[in-house]
């Protein structure tokens, strides 16, 4: 059977005293270090998660701004294109009007010259007909 003698109590007392001393000197500081390490890791993970969330928000914002910029640039492009087409129509219409005016002037000049040539020929016809009549009469 188990005997409880004085050495048993001395060893038990020695065990509890040593446990108390080791707890104060070794276990509590180690647990404190483990807790600090856990807090540091948790804080780092939280900071990384926050940075990741901010990165995602920044990407979303950047994509939104990029889409807005594309929309604005497309609108500006369409406006400039419409202005360019309008300017082109104006230039073509003014060139067409100028060409029509030049053509009308040329037609008028040709008509005037043709009329002048007809009048000149009519005067010559009268002379030639008189001459023909004279020659026929002489014969």
Q: What is the pLDDT of residues 57-78, one digit of tens each?
A: 999 999 999 999 999 999 999 9
Q: Is the pLDDT of residue 3 over 90?
A: no
Distance CA 55, CA 68 (A): 20
Q: Give φ, ψ of 110 to 5 degrees.
A: -65, -40
pLDDT bin (cut points 50, 70, 90) of residue 133 is confident
Q: Residues 73-119: pLDDT tens digits? A: 999 999 999 999 999 999 999 999 999 999 999 999 999 999 998 88
pLDDT of residue 101: 94
pLDDT number for residue 134: 85
* Per-residue model confidence (pLDDT) at position 5: 82
Pairwise pLDDT comparison (41 vs 1), residue with the higher score:
41
Per-residue tokens: 33: 């270090």
Q: How far apart are alpha carbons 45 and 37 in whole angstroms?
A: 12
């Amino acid at each position: 059977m188990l005997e409880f003698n004085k050495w048993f109590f001395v060893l038990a007392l020695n065990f509890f005293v040593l446990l108390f001393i080791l707890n104060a000197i070794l276990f509590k500081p180690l647990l404190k270090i483990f807790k600090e390490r856990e807090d540091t890791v948790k804080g780092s993970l939280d900071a990384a998660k926050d940075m990741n969330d901010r990165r995602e928000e920044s990407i979303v914002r950047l994509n939104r701004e990029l889409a807005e910029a594309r929309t604005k640039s497309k609108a500006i492009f369409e406006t400039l294109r419409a202005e360019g087409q309008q300017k082109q129509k104006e230039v073509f219409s003014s060139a067409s009007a100028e060409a029509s005016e030049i053509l009308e002037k040329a037609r008028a000049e040709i008509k005037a010259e043709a009329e002048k040539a007809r009048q000149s020929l009519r005067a010559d016809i009268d002379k030639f007909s008189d001459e023909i009549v004279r020659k026929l009469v002489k014969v």
